[in-house]
Amino acid sequence: MSLRLSPLFLGAGILLAAAPRADAFDLTGTYTGKYACKGVVTNDQSGKNSYTSDATLRVTQTGAAIGLFIDFTGSTYQYSGAAVPDVKKPEAKGEMPIVLCGTNDVLAGGEYDELGRLKVSAKPGALAAKITGTSVYSDLVAGAYTCKWSFKRTDLTNPAVAISCP
C-alpha cells in the first residue's frame, strides 16, 4: 500500500514548519553598549585602524523578524535580522544573523556592506537581555573591518524599528 499526501496537507505542514516558534526569545527594547572595530584602511598611511564607540541599539522583534537601529558617534545605521532560537532553551537563548540595510554583492561599490552573527540571551518577561557577537564590514574608503558588538537591554519599550529594510 502506498502512502499519498494531499497537496493541502503537505502545504499546511510546510507552513507550520516555517512559522516562528511561540516560545522563542524576544529582544524588543533599547540597549546600551559598545561597538568596537579593527581593520585595514585605504585612507591612512599606517594601513590599520581601530575604534571603540559607546552606542545605543534599538530593537523591534515580530516573530522571527528583527529590526535593529544603531546610533554611535553621531552615525546611525539600520539592520535586518532573524531570530534563530536555541534548541534547548529557545525562550531564552539563540543567535541572530544580521545584514546592514543596503548591503549588496558589489563590495567595491562605494557603499558600506556588512553581515554579522550575534549571540542573544533574554529572560522571558524581564529586562535582562544581552546581544553580543561579530560583524564584518567593508567599503572603498574605510577598508575592511571586523567589529565586536556588546549590548545590554536598558528598556523594554518597543522603539518601533522597521523589521525590514527600506
**Position 16 in a domain:** no
End-to-end Cα, the chain, rounded Å: 52
pLDDT at 98: 98
* Domain assignment present for 131: yes
> What percentage of the chain carries pLDDT values higher than 70?
84
Read off the pLDDT of residues 97-145 as tens digits, 9 standing for 90 and up. Answer: 999 999 988 777 777 899 999 999 999 989 999 999 999 988 777 788 9
- pLDDT bin (cut points 50, 70, 90) of residue 77 is very high
* 7 pLDDT more than 60: no
**pTM recorded for the entire structure:** 0.82
Whichever domain contains 104, its CATH number is: 2.40.128
Number of structural domains in the chain: 1
Amino acid at 164: S
70 assigned to some structural domain: yes
Q: Is residue 160 part of a domain?
A: no
> Does residue 88 fall inside a structural domain?
yes
CA distance 89 to 82: 17
**Summary count for the chain: helices (H), strands (E):** 1, 9
Domain span at residue 100 reads: 22-155
